[in-house]
Amino acid sequence: MASRANLSDIAKALGVSVATVSNAMSGKGRVSKELGRAIREKAKELGYVPSLAGRALSTGRSHVLGLVLADIGHPLFPQFAQAIEHAASEAGYGVLIGDSRGDIEAQSRAINRLIERGADGIVVVPRHGTRIGDIGRPVAVIDSPSTPGNTVAADHRNGGLEIGRHLLELGHRSVAIIGLHSDSSVQNDRIAGIREAFASKGEIRLIWIGEMERSHGSGCPLGLVRLVEEGVTAFAAVSDLHALRAITELQQGGISIPGDVSVTGFDDLIWAGVIAPSLTTMRMDMERIAEIAIAELISQIEQGGARDAPSDLPASQGQSSIPMELIVRQSSGPALGLPASGETAPALTGPASSNMSQVLPLRSTTREGSD
Amino acid sequence: MASRANLSDIAKALGVSVATVSNAMSGKGRVSKELGRAIREKAKELGYVPSLAGRALSTGRSHVLGLVLADIGHPLFPQFAQAIEHAASEAGYGVLIGDSRGDIEAQSRAINRLIERGADGIVVVPRHGTRIGDIGRPVAVIDSPSTPGNTVAADHRNGGLEIGRHLLELGHRSVAIIGLHSDSSVQNDRIAGIREAFASKGEIRLIWIGEMERSHGSGCPLGLVRLVEEGVTAFAAVSDLHALRAITELQQGGISIPGDVSVTGFDDLIWAGVIAPSLTTMRMDMERIAEIAIAELISQIEQGGARDAPSDLPASQGQSSIPMELIVRQSSGPALGLPASGETAPALTGPASSNMSQVLPLRSTTREGSD
DNA sequence: GCATAATGCTTAAACGCTTAACCTTCATGT
DNA sequence: ACATGAAGGTTAAGCGTTTAAGCATTATGC
């Protein structure tokens, strides 16, 4: 089997010049209707596939984009990768992945590697608290709308607002927010949103997992049961991962969800729908985010060429923030003291956290799965 | 800023020919020690980065590999992507991702797209029950050792064996295996391993989530509490995702883990270490698997060239299977009736599954987090 | 001391594509 | 009738690299 057909094969077969064939395929030069059709037919017949390498060398464009995730191990990565790949593919671009496990320096190394590999532009979901400097090539940053230099992101603040309102409507007046650490814009936006929803309407406390783990080791209990005793009726985690941690810890402590307390998450990660109780959470519109990021990137690539200073033009339409969607499932319910079905919930009596062998009353779960 | 320096710039600056510079950089032709050093110095000085496009055009090798995951949304994807990217990068290759969400046909489309993009070879983690046909280019398949055409994979069967033995040692004699559906070689291997461990030493039943969801809807309860009443003391899920589902369902039903029953998973997914109780599971050695897959692929690429019939040579050393590692955490403990610390565990009394408002005794969790 | 070989470099072609420039041919406006 | 322009092509250069072949020059064998 001969190796792949090229332009010259088609040209020879039809007795025309390669340039004409090239023009016909790209629809750029001046080629008569008929010849154009004939060429495309022949191309199909020979199974012609353009050589990206040849094209890249000639045009200086590889038609490949780089994707750099700060934390490629994050469970959100699949969604990102899938959406970005899809959008890029639609636009005729391939996606090269860059691993930046580890620190910030690794992140820039990853970016550089991708550039050396010839990526026309880079999509970055940066590590917390990182700013992407000028890398001499178009970049689209997906972080949070409040991050300077951000290109597109979900409206995390509004997401927080919605989850806050949801809990508020359910009657919760004392909630604990669970975050990892305070140097992530995404988390801070979400938290700010929740706070805004509760402004003066309820009491909020903050739990930083990062801090607790620093003193008690990774995977340590978060002491949530004690908070429940102190009156907290809802836990709003800024990630489904933390929500999961909360749910299991509470359940292990004999607390019923959503009977006794509610738990909400963020991101609608893969397990959100299958755990018991299934998780109420906020979902990003990855498809749209990816589309916009890619569109921005490609527009920069195609017009800009060698433009590197992002301060040059005000980046097309500026930064867009995409609404998030509230997914109500089983893990959120009416606050204790606001009986759902006429029955009065028994108050929690005595300390339950330190001594799990105590007998706890379990309320029945009344809600059904909705999706 | 001038665009990137190329061979010709270096050649001009030193008054030599491009060919010499090329030889010096690649160390292939005949170049004197001194001149070689001078050239490399100049290259560094000018910030020379070889043009992959030029090289690709000249050599016919893009130095790019394609990565196709059947289910890119699977939580294992990050680990795969990271390991593959790392191994490929070490070998001087980039990794292009292919999205094959959806059916088997989408999988071949993804593979084709990557080939059209010029990938020198493809790493495939195929969809259950798929066989990758001849695609005219080197392929490395990561599925299960029992799959025909498999290149490298974790030793899932042995993994099952180990988890089975672990439960056996803890005194469990009646376990339920939780799987998704029966057409996955990986799952079947794992299950076979567990079965082998228990051969005639205990009772095993099988739960297929797929079947249950087909009749009761996605995310439906699996009825595990009833199984506990019937005497099951351990649940061995073939994926951490299912294990998670089991743990939450059991906890919600008022059953203590590992006090009343044990639950184990597979794959050591991201949440395994942070949920309560943390999850006992089996981990694949992704790094090694990726290394071997990439090495195989590259060896095929570099020697084979246009060889397409895999039946030609017996594929180097044949298919390798990499041992899995048992990670013991909190979710597995001694079987009921085999008191861990002198204390006799109370037997479960009466039906607990259908009526969750029943008051259940909770045993204390005695084990500490170990990692 | 002369054929032979090794060494160090250059020339030139090739990879497949794009694109500017050029050359016919034919239709058009004046 | 003749300059002008458009249409439909062709030629040729160039993108950056590799690599076979060629050509001096110097070392080696006998």
Which chain A positions have a beta carbon within 8 Å of B358's beta carbon? Answer: 362
| Span CA (A24) to C1' (C17), Å | 13
For residue B100, what pLDDT band results from cuts at 50, 70 and 90?
confident
Instruction: Give the mean model confidence (pLDDT) for residues B252-272.
Output: 97
Report the 3 state secondary structure along B324-339.
CEEECCCCCCCCCCCC
Peptide bond just before A277 cis, omega within 30 deg? yes
Are B359 and A363 a contacting pair at CB < 8 A? no
A228 burial via Cβ count (<10 Å: 0-12, 13-18, 19+): buried
Pick from A155-164, A301-310, A332-341, B119-128 the range whose average pLDDT is largest.
Answer: A155-164
Chain A contacts in chain B segment 326-365 (CB below 8 A): 355-365
A8-30: pLDDT as tens digits: 999 999 999 999 999 999 998 88
Least confident span in A281-295, B7-21, B63-77: B63-77
**Residues facing A96 on adjacent strands:** A66, B96
Would an 8 Å CB–CB cutoff place A244 in contact with chain B?
Answer: yes
Which chain B positions have a beta carbon within 8 Å of A364's beta carbon? Answer: 355-357
Nearest to A360 among B116, B277, B362 (CB): B362
Round to whole Å and give the CA distance between A20 and A30: 8
Are A241 and B271 a contacting pair at CB < 8 A? yes
Round to whole Å and give the CA distance between B236 and B265: 6
| Span CA (A19) to C1' (D13), Å | 13
pTM: 0.86
Joined tokens for residue B148: 């025909």
**Strand locations in chain B, DSSP E?**
64-69, 94-99, 121-125, 139-141, 152-154, 174-179, 203-208, 234-237, 262-264, 281-283, 320-322, 325-327
Nearest to B97 among A97, A245, A358 (CB): A97
Joined tokens for residue B4: 């990137």
| Torsion of Cα atoms, B260 then B266 then B267 then B273, to 10° | 0
Q: Which residue of B has its CA nearest to A75?
A: B75
Which chain B positions have a beta carbon within 8 Å of A277's beta carbon? Answer: 248, 252
Which chain B positions have a beta carbon within 8 Å of A257's beta carbon? Answer: 252
More confident residue, A329 or B2: A329
Cβ–Cβ < 8 Å for A17, A11 = yes
pLDDT tops 90 at residue B370: no
Cβ–Cβ < 8 Å for B219, B209 = no
Q: Which residue of A has its CA nearest to B77?
A: A78
A114-123: pLDDT as tens digits: 999 999 999 9
Would an 8 Å CB–CB cutoff place B274 in contact with chain A?
Answer: yes
> Who touches strand D, with Cβ under 7 Å?
A 15-20, 23, 29-33, 35-36, 54, 57-58, 60; B 3-4, 6-8, 18-19, 22-23, 25-26, 28-29, 48, 50-51, 53-55, 57-59
Q: Which residue of A has its CA nearest to B249?
A: A276
Separation of CA B124 from chain center: 11
Are A97 and B85 a contacting pair at CB < 8 A? yes
Q: What is the pLDDT of residue A182?
A: 92
pLDDT tops 80 at residue B257: yes
> Who touches strand C, with Cβ under 7 Å?
A 3-4, 6-8, 18-19, 22-23, 25-26, 28-29, 48, 50-51, 53-55, 57-59; B 15-20, 23, 29-33, 35-36, 57-58, 60
Q: What is the pLDDT of residue B359?
A: 36
Q: Which residue of B has its CA nearest to A85?
A: B99
Are B96 and A96 a contacting pair at CB < 8 A? yes
Report the 3 state secondary structure along chain A.
CCCCCCHHHHHHHHCCCHHHHHHHHHCCCCCCHHHHHHHHHHHHHHCCCCCHHHHHHHHCCCCEEEEEECCCCCCCHHHHHHHHHHHHHHCCCEEEEEECCCCHHHHHHHHHHHHHCCCCEEEEECCCCCCCCCCCCCEEECCCCCCCCCCEEECHHHHHHHHHHHHHHCCCCEEEEEECCCCCHHHHHHHHHHHHHHCCCCEEEEEEHHHHHHHHCCCCCCCHHHHHHCCCCEEEECCHHHHHHHHHHHHHCCCCCCCCCEEECCCCCCCCCCCCCCCEEEECCHHHHHHHHHHHHHHHHHHHCCCCCCCCCCCCCCCEEECCEEECCCCCCCCCCCCCCCCCCCCCCCCCCCCCCCCCCCCCCCCCCCC
Of A147, A100, A151, A144, nearest in space to A121 by CA: A151
Beta-carbon neighbour count of residue A252 at 10 Å? Answer: 23
Q: What is the pLDDT of residue B304?
A: 64
Q: Of A3, A61, A82, A330, which to mutate for an interface test with B (greatest number of B Cβ within 10 Å)?
A: A82
Q: What is the pLDDT of residue B340?
A: 45
Would an 8 Å CB–CB cutoff place A96 in contact with chain B?
Answer: yes
A36 burial via Cβ count (<10 Å: 0-12, 13-18, 19+): middle
Q: What percent of chain B has pLDDT over 70?
A: 85
Are A241 and B57 a contacting pair at CB < 8 A? no
Chain A contacts in chain B segment 32-61 (CB below 8 A): 49, 51-54, 56-57
Nearest to B94 among A117, A221, A252 (CB): A117
pLDDT tops 60 at residue A348: no
pLDDT tops 70 at residue A309: no
Q: What is the pLDDT of residue B174?
A: 96
Chain B contacts in chain A segment 143-202 (CB below 8 A): none
Of B281, B208, B218, B217, nearest in space to B244 by CA: B281
Rg, C-alpha atoms of chain B: 27
Q: What is the pLDDT of residue A29?
A: 83
Least confident span in A50-64, A309-323, B169-183: A309-323
Instruction: Give the mean model confidence (pLDDT) for residues B85-105.
Output: 89
Q: What is the pLDDT of residue B315?
A: 45
Task: Please measure the distance between the N-terminal and C-terminal CA atoms of chain B and give it in whole angstroms.
Answer: 51
Task: Please give, rounded to a whole number of angstroms, the shortest distance from the CA of A277 to a CA of chain B.
Answer: 7
Instruction: Give the mean model confidence (pLDDT) for residues B237-256.
Output: 97
Nearest to A78 among B72, B117, B274 (CB): B72
For residue B307, what pLDDT band results from cuts at 50, 70 and 90?
very low
Would an 8 Å CB–CB cutoff place A8 in contact with chain B?
Answer: no
Q: Which residue of A has its CA nearest to B306?
A: A3
For residue A358, what pLDDT band results from cuts at 50, 70 and 90?
very low
Which chain B positions have a beta carbon within 8 Å of A98's beta carbon? Answer: 85
pLDDT tops 80 at residue A276: yes
Q: Which residue of A has its CA nearest to B209?
A: A274
For residue A304, what pLDDT band results from cuts at 50, 70 and 90?
low
Least confident span in A121-135, A323-337, B159-173, B186-200: A121-135
Nucleotides of chain D within 7 Å of a protein C-beta?
Answer: 7-12, 14-21
Q: What percent of chain B has pLDDT over 90?
A: 71
